[in-house]
A and B are shown apart, each in its own frame.
Chain A
Amino acid sequence: MARMKFLADAERCIECNGCVTACKQEHDIPWGVNRRRVVTLNDGMPGEKSISVACMHCSDAPCMAVCPVDVFYKTSEGIVLHDKDLCIGCGYCFYACPFGAPQFPQDGAFGLRGKMDKCTFCAGGPEPDFSEAEFRKYGRNRIAEGKLPACAEMCSTKALLGGDGDVIADIYRSRAITRGRGSEVWGWGTAYGRPEKKPAAQPPGAKS
């Protein structure tokens, strides 16, 4: 019961854009379309952090909800895929997506945008797996080859993790424990508010 997810570790990302390049080369993506990008926060300031972002394969995906022709579908692994043959290029998925994941080959006058393109978690599309048509429209189908997304597998610092949510969460947790910090990405501090007493530096090995 795998549920595929991406996890970007901001502590490790060095903004090398290797994931962006790996994605582009793996799927032979044309100019102007970027399925993945790296955003740097507080660039050039103390506490600079970079995060790689693409389609996050939402459980309740806004793109699916607003699409007027219902091109999207979800695999049993939670990967959000779409059928390019049905896409009319209205751009609504781009307006709705929190991560700016849907991309269009053009931004033409009269709303001529072409077919939407986005991260497929390297799982191709509805065409037969490994077919020429599937590669041309969606890129390589690595999931059907028993592999993981190229961006995550190519990441030199392993900042970007991809795969079953439970497994990558375990990997990340062991990392956070080793580091002694990093549990804040789970948002527990926000969820549980002001602590009763100020915790000192976390003892190594404590469950965060």
Chain B
Amino acid sequence: MRLTTTCTIALAAGLSLLAAGCGERPKVTVYKQGQYQGKPDTRPWDNDPPKDPSIVAWQKGDKASWEKSIKARTLGQNEYVRIEGASNK
């Protein structure tokens, strides 16, 4: 009798634990604009800018200035601008 009761309690506990898992929605991370989602990691702007003439230096820890630097770098891929810049000088 003791054993049956213990078994029933264990079964009920196990079932409720499993049932709790069932209510869990499928875990799908959809990107939210500008939001960090996930594991701890150093953010790019928390590093010192390298001493490199091709890089616009940013303020360590300042996200906006890092983004400005990256934007300048990205615009460098537009060779139309590069040629214009060259002809203007």
Q: When each residue 14-50 of chain B gets 1 if its CB lies under 8 Å from chain A and 0 otherwise, what string results?
A: 0000000000001111110111111111111011011
Bound CA–CA A132/B79 (angstroms): 35
Bound CA–CA A131/B71 (angstroms): 25
Selected interface stretch from A31-39, A141-149, A193-201? A141-149
Q: Does A1 contact B (CB under 8 A)?
A: yes
Interface residues on B, range: 35 or more
Q: Does A164 contact B (CB under 8 A)?
A: yes
Known: A2-B70, A76-B34, A174-B78. 14 other contacts (CB 8 A): A2-B71, A65-B26, A72-B29, A74-B31, A128-B42, A129-B42, A145-B52, A146-B55, A147-B55, A148-B73, A148-B74, A158-B79, A163-B71, A163-B74
A interface vs B, CB < 8 Å? 1-3, 58-61, 64-65, 70, 72-78, 81, 83, 123, 125-126, 128-130, 141, 143-148, 152-153, 158, 161-164, 167-168, 170-171, 174-175, 178
B interface vs A, CB < 8 Å? 26-31, 33-44, 46-47, 49-50, 52, 55-56, 58, 66-67, 69-71, 73-75, 77-80
